[in-house]
């Protein structure tokens, strides 16, 4: 099993209401990495560099209504129709079954097909699926948020850098997460395929403390 899903030198913790904390178990992440984390979130207000992430996080926070995380049934995606094409909701049925309940039209277009109703791990590199599944399970069980930057290789062969914000939700019987993605850079053209590969390479990752702390880094994931 690959140990490269979340490179340890890129794992950091951020808190929307407190200064960034360097995880001492990870060693020196470097000034550039720390500056990147600080730039990505204004820790006093929960604001992100990308306005869409700020909007989603703000709505998610208001939808909690005193609970640890919002309820899926009360989470209205139509509150931000301009973001909806790049949003998704997945249900963590188990660490090996991350069921896609909804995927926005812009993501479907980039994928080249609609994976709704399928296991999202099938779009991950095969050698990383176990690690990725455990990460999603940790996201919703802790619970905490995540902000990741990675490369995708779409079925068209287009390779891009993308970033996504992940926030947990309480479903009817299982915990879920809502995600918002955006492409930030075109890299290259790869071989056309029938399958889109998401997170072919993970470039950067931060935990987001939602008021319940953040998990210890699982060394089997990094």
Mean pLDDT, residues 190-196 taken together: 95
Better pLDDT: 39 or 76: 76
The verdict on residue 41 lying in a domain is yes
The predicted pLDDT at position 157 comes to 96
The predicted pLDDT at position 218 comes to 55
Which of 185-189, 190-194, 212-216 is the least confident region?
Answer: 212-216
Tens-digit pLDDT profile for residues 59-71 = 999 999 889 999 9
The verdict on residue 217 lying in a domain is no
The predicted pLDDT at position 110 comes to 96
Q: DSSP string spanning 176-214?
A: EEEEEEEEEEEEEE----SS-EEEEEEEEEEEE--SS--
Domain containing residue 113: 8-208
The verdict on residue 2 lying in a domain is no
The predicted pLDDT at position 205 comes to 85
Query: How much of the chain, in percent, has pLDDT values that exceed 70?
Result: 77
Distance CA 87, CA 107 (A): 8
Q: Is the pLDDT of residue 26 over 60?
A: no
The verdict on residue 183 lying in a domain is yes
- Indicate the average pLDDT of the chain: 81
Number of domains observed in the structure of the chain: 1
The predicted pLDDT at position 67 comes to 92
Cβ proximity of 54 and 198 under 8 Å = no
Better pLDDT: 34 or 171: 171
Query: How much of the chain, in percent, has pLDDT values that exceed 90?
Result: 66
Mean pLDDT, residues 61-87 taken together: 94
Mean pLDDT, residues 130-151 taken together: 93
The verdict on residue 43 lying in a domain is yes
Widest distance between CA atoms in the chain: 49
Helical residues (DSSP H) of the chain, grouped into ranges: 31-40, 51-62, 105-111, 129-141
The verdict on residue 160 lying in a domain is yes
Q: Report CA 47 to chain centroid distance, whole Å.
A: 16
The verdict on residue 33 lying in a domain is yes
CATH code, domain carrying 25: 3.30.450.20
Q: Is the pLDDT of residue 24 over 80?
A: no
The verdict on residue 218 lying in a domain is no
Which of 43-57, 89-103, 113-127, 129-143 is the least confident region?
Answer: 43-57
């Amino acid at each position: 099993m690959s140990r490269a899903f979340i490179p340890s030198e890129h794992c950091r913790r951020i808190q929307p209401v407190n200064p960034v904390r360097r995880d001492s178990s990870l060693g020196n992440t470097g000034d550039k990495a720390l500056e990147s984390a600080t730039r990505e979130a204004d820790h006093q207000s929960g604001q992100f560099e990308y306005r869409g992430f700020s909007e989603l996080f703000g709505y998610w926070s208001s939808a909690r209504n005193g609970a640890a995380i919002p309820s899926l049934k009360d989470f209205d995606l139509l509150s931000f129709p301009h973001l909806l094409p790049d949003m998704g909701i997945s249900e963590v049925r188990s660490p090996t079954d991350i069921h896609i309940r909804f995927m926005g039209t812009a993501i479907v277009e980039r994928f080249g097909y609609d994976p709704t109703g399928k296991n999202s791990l099938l779009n991950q590199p095969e050698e990383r699926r176990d690690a990725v599944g455990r990460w999603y399970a940790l996201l919703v069980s802790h619970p905490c948020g995540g902000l990741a930057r990675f490369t995708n290789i779409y079925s068209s062969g287009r390779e891009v850098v993308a970033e996504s914000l992940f926030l947990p939700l309480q479903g009817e019987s299982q915990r879920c997460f809502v995600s918002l993605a955006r492409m930030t850079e075109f890299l290259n053209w790869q071989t056309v395929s029938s399958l889109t590969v998401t997170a072919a390479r993970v470039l950067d990752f931060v935990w987001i403390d939602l008021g319940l702390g953040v998990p210890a880094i699982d060394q089997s994931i990094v």
